Amino acid sequence: MDEEKPVRHILSLSGGKDSTALAIYLRDRVENMEYIFHDTGKELPDTLEYIERLESYLGTKVVRTTTRETFDDILRSKGGMLPSGRRRWCTDYLKLKPFENYIGDEPCVNYVGIRADEDRVGYISHKPNIKAVFPFREDGIDYDGVVRILEEAGLGMPPYTEWGRTRSGCFFCFYQQKIEWVRLKQNFPELYDEAKAYEKPNRVNGQVFYWTDEPLEDLEQPERMESIEDNWNKMRERKKARRGNQPLVKTLGGLEIDDTPRDGCLICQL
């Protein structure tokens, strides 16, 4: 009779606040935890720096998973059609596929960083050998609890929140808000230019696909950026008037942190 395979314990990191806090929270609670990070090759420098700081805290290496095909390889196979909310192939090829390939067919407990104050499911594998668990939800840890865990560990919030990014993910993620594109242009103009260079006619029908509902070439014009900033500040003031002032940690970089669940890259949102 074959011996049962040992159960692996795996925490998939995104470089965001919730999965990082969960890694800290479980460090002394789960033995032989494996930490993995799905590196798309298009990550923000801030994200990579945050992962390195977490490695120092954990005292162990975070495994970087990749696929043989890069983002550019897959984009060519798609005829140059950029990913979008309707064509979310980047998540499948660059996040979910390497995650499931890394686990294989071995029994696994997958630790997911969804908080107690969130009403979403996140990525749940349909493979029978992967069981998802939600420690924060089970232990009643909400947003403030996550921030407290990060501060007490000395890591603090991800560095990209200081200049106005709300979550981890590729620097050209199509789920970004307009103000986040403005912040990217201001803080990483070379990455903005790289994202803009992808907006060109595809090989299928010659149509130009854009990351957002307007070309990045238009969005980066000074008057347009000023308009986006002005609209954002007005909206933020209206929100303050309705809900009162938010804690400083939620307004880092002048950009209110948005914890509203979105149908984005489900692993990235952890």
Beta-bridge partner residues of 208: 201
| 12-26, 177-191, 230-244, range with the lowest pLDDT | 230-244
Q: Indicate the pLDDT class of residue 252, thresholds 50, 70 and 90.
A: very low
- Pick from 42, 37, 41: nearest CA to 63: 37
Residue entry with tokens 């660059």:
94
Predicted confidence (pLDDT) at residue 265 exceeds the cutoff of 70 = no
Whole-prediction pTM:
0.85
Round the average pLDDT of the chain to a whole number and report it.
87
d(CA 82, CA 88): 9
Q: Can you give the pLDDT at residue 248? A: 44
- Pick from 185, 168, 172: nearest CA to 50: 168
| 39-48, 51-60, 112-121, 219-228, range with the lowest pLDDT | 112-121
Mean pLDDT over residues 238-254, rounded? Answer: 60
The residue among 46 and 269 whose pLDDT is bigger is 46
**121: Cβ–Cβ under 8 A, 6 or more apart, which residues?**
114
| 2-11, 98-107, 172-181, range with the lowest pLDDT | 2-11
Q: Can you give the pLDDT at residue 122? A: 65
Write the Ramachandran bin of 75: left for phi over 0, alpha for psi from -120 to 50, otherwise beta: alpha
| 80-89, 104-113, 114-123, 154-163, range with the lowest pLDDT | 114-123
